[in-house]
Amino acid sequence: MPLPMLYYLVKISLSALVIVVISEVAKRSSGFAALIASLPMTSLLAFIWLRVEGEAPAKIAELSEQIFWLIIPSLLLFPLFAGLLRYGMAFWTSLMISIFATAICYLALVPLLRRLGVLL
């Protein structure tokens, strides 16, 4: 197997492992799973992979700053989803409404951040 292919398999496997661990922990303790899931695992993995691949620190810092601003609209998803479920709405309907509302927030915030020079 060529080395680049093996490298991508390792990246995919480690990244998928994070998701599997969180879902398995959630079966036993939703609080601990929430703690693990709230860690910026995706971002941390992206930073690590970029560094391993030789990306410049300035580029990684730029990514980190942009992620910070884009977290804001994603925060709507969690309380909205929980509220809809508690209100008695079906899981898939609640999830779709929450995703749609979050997407609307992204669509509103991204142009603003671009105008302010925060996003490239």
Q: At residue 54, what is the residue type?
A: G
Nearest residue to 25 via CA among 34, 15, 14: 34
Please state whether the predicted TM-score (pTM) of the whole model is above 0.75.
no
Could you report the per-residue pLDDT of 57-89, keeping only the tens digit for each?
999 999 999 999 989 898 999 999 999 999 999
| Mean pLDDT rounded to a whole number for the chain | 90
pLDDT for 100 equals 97
C-alpha separations of 62 from 58, 75, 81, 114, 118 in Å: 6, 21, 30, 14, 10
* Domain extent listing, the chain: 57-120
